[in-house]
Structure 1
């Protein structure tokens, strides 16, 4: 059993303390489950700090690059670890340090990372499109070829089984990214996909990849223009919208447009980021997170998200929280990124890629932290058109 450094050992909650935190989940005066989750995360950071006791803090009191990445992959907030080390590490006894860090050589000193630069949506060189080549390459390394976020081909196929897809069906995918999800559906179900993406760079790359794979007709990605009176063109048997509606302020118009372009027997499957409740709108951590997002999200609460579809003539048949599964996907994809950093160091453009990797990691670490705290959720909803009878809806 690893011996903890003296001061850090005193900071780690006792079993009684952990039990009290668990009891707090059911106590309204203690802030409920969300408060208990936050306390549990802080307790984990205190315990985890023992493994970082020899990390050299930067001049501004942060963990160096390699140690930040390691903290993310271990499931800790690097800022919490740095705060603990800054307060208590001077009093740690060397004997305890040797026991804790016996198998880990300290990484070399690294320069402090500069703060991420906010994307200007009015910049004519970057109109609603922060996907430069470096970010695309990092996304490829972390999430898998053709993906811009958590998941993968098997995840896309499994979560789409609710739609009971068939080879003869037409499917509209809203927010297609690099098109990997559309191509996975073509391979998994044989259906015909028309994707819509607002990033011209992503749409172009997605169509190039589909052509290379012989799917140019079955996995075509078009540009989406909210002002286009033709909307999504034709009508579809199924519609999929993954983590895209939060980008739009007038969500009701988008959902109405989706309804307009669905066949009478159609089904829509939508997943998106939502706020847990009204209190989250005023939460300082949520406001700070919004400030760091590439583009300001227009978030609904989970209740508002469901109501959005009900008010647009959909019958909601699936309405569920899938946050835990999403957090597990994030953690799984970021595992082993320390090895990625070592590989990137060997490339001519390694420093630039590592900088982008760090910014991408910070973006997802902030999102995951809010999800763990119960303030930000990932919600899944499936609906049918009012008056239409869905054909062979899966009960999977």
Structure 2
């Protein structure tokens, strides 16, 4: 490693510099296809509020809501949720299911629109939070939020009118089996709308390895061609399968930019522990964005209908 490479700042250095306004938003990860590994940084001593993105602790839930909005654990807010729900023309007479509802942002939006929603979330902490938020908003009666591994779900035949998911399928180990279950449960003309990360580059690349190593839940990915083929084989008509990575990345960067503007107003009232948690979350998104920029993974929006 030469001196120039050795002097390059790591993720935490970039994010701390961004925090203090010394440069633009920090999550720009080295292109690991060409750059040697950076030296490991010494881990700070553990504290009672040590950042940890491997679980959805109450503290992490608090931090992501500062970034992405109240009651949300993902970027994009209502704008990206509406991009999924609007084409379906949902109404209260339809049987609607959400997979991987997280903190229930889309579930609550639909419930506020008068839709009845069955929602499933594999993480107990997130499903508990989704239930609490639905109760807080007074819309619990329109939501049926359950903690369940998505691979374990079983549906009644011809019972579903619409199924949605916003980046909620990463934990599914057998996506082909889940899609087959959904197709069997669809009523004629049933609709399936979701966003998911798909594999668009080599699995053996260094960028892929770094991204996969840092994902708290190890995803199992299909390629765009494999997904479309699988859907068509099952009897879905694919209306569109589109790459929406750039708008998703913009939502991430906008979230951190809004937060940066907010902390300038808050000034010295920002706690050190909050800063460390935001930096940890920023590292997580930096690595994802690096994999997207390298075209190893891309986020796709898929809309399809069940053939009669």
Q: Is contact 2:192-2:305 (8 Å) kept?
A: yes
Q: Which residue in 1 is equivalent to 2:34?
A: none
Q: Which residue in 1 is equivalent to 2:76?
A: 151
Task: Choose the corresponding residue for 2:148, options 214, 220, 224.
Answer: 224
Name stretches of at least 5 consecutive residues in structure 1 with no aligned partner.
1-55, 81-111, 118-125, 389-396
1:331 correspondence with 2:282: no
Q: Which residue in 1 is equivalent to 2:207?
A: 285
- Please give the alpha-carbon distance, in whole angstroms, between the structure 1 residues aligned to 2:106 and 2:55: 20
Q: Is contact 1:140-1:148 (8 Å) kept?
A: yes
Q: Which residue in 2 is equivalent to 1:261?
A: 185
Q: 1:46-85, aligned counterparts within 5 Å?
A: 63=13, 65-69=15-19, 74=25, 77=28
Shift of 1:379: 0.7
Shift of 1:338: 3.2
Q: Which residue in 2 is equivalent to 1:356?
A: 277
Scaled by the length of structure 1, what TM-score is found? 0.64
Shift of 1:245: 2.3
- Please give the alpha-carbon distance, in whole angstroms, between the structure 2 residues aligned to 1:345 and 1:304: 51
The secondary structure found in structure 2 opposite 1:217 is helix
Task: Choose the corresponding residue for 1:137, options 58, 62, 65.
Answer: 62
Q: Which residue in 1 is equivalent to 2:235?
A: 313
Q: Is contact 1:73-1:335 (8 Å) kept?
A: no
Shift of 1:311: 3.0
Q: Against the structure 1 CA distance between its residues 57 and 328, is the aligned structure 2 distance closer, same or farther, given a 3 Å change threshold?
A: closer
Q: Which residue in 2 is equivalent to 1:381?
A: 302
Q: Deviations over 1:107-164 (max 9, x none)?
A: xxxxx8848x9xxxxxxxx9x9710011101111001111111111233123321112
Q: Deviations over 1:226-267 (max 9, x none)?
A: 575744798221100221223222111111222232222210
| Bigger radius of gyration | 1
- Please give the alpha-carbon distance, in whole angstroms, between the structure 2 residues aligned to 1:206 and 1:335: 26
Q: Which residue in 2 is equivalent to 1:365?
A: 286
Q: Deviations over 1:305-353 (max 9, x none)?
A: 2223223332212111111111111111110433555649636xx3333
Task: Choose the corresponding residue for 1:180, options 98, 105, 110.
Answer: 105
Q: Against the structure 1 CA distance between its residues 170 and 62, is the aligned structure 2 distance closer, same or farther, given a 3 Å change threshold?
A: closer
Q: Is contact 1:314-1:383 (8 Å) kept?
A: yes
Shift of 1:191: 1.6
- Please give the alpha-carbon distance, in whole angstroms, between the structure 1 residues aligned to 2:157 and 2:263: 44
The secondary structure found in structure 2 opposite 1:131 is coil
Q: Is contact 2:236-2:305 (8 Å) kept?
A: yes
Q: Is contact 1:150-1:329 (8 Å) kept?
A: yes
Q: Deviations over 1:77-130 (max 9, x none)?
A: 2668xxxxxxxxxxxxxxxxxxxxxxxxxxxxxxx8848x9xxxxxxxx9x971
Q: 1:108-119, aligned counterparts within 5 Å?
A: 114=43
Shift of 1:290: 0.6
Q: Against the structure 1 CA distance between its residues 294 and 258, is the aligned structure 2 distance closer, same or farther, given a 3 Å change threshold?
A: same
Name stretches of at least 5 consecutive residues in structure 2 with no aligned partner.
1-6, 32-40, 47-51
Number of aligned residue pairs? 285
RMSD after superposition = 3.2
- Please give the alpha-carbon distance, in whole angstroms, between the structure 2 residues aligned to 1:325 and 1:333: 12
- The farther-off stretch of 218-227 and 280-289 is 218-227
Q: Is contact 1:172-1:194 (8 Å) kept?
A: yes
Q: Against the structure 1 CA distance between its residues 75 and 289, is the aligned structure 2 distance closer, same or farther, given a 3 Å change threshold?
A: same
Q: Which residue in 1 is equivalent to 2:269?
A: 346
Q: Deviations over 1:19-49 (max 9, x none)?
A: xxxxxxxxxxxxxxxxxxxxxxxxxxxxxxx
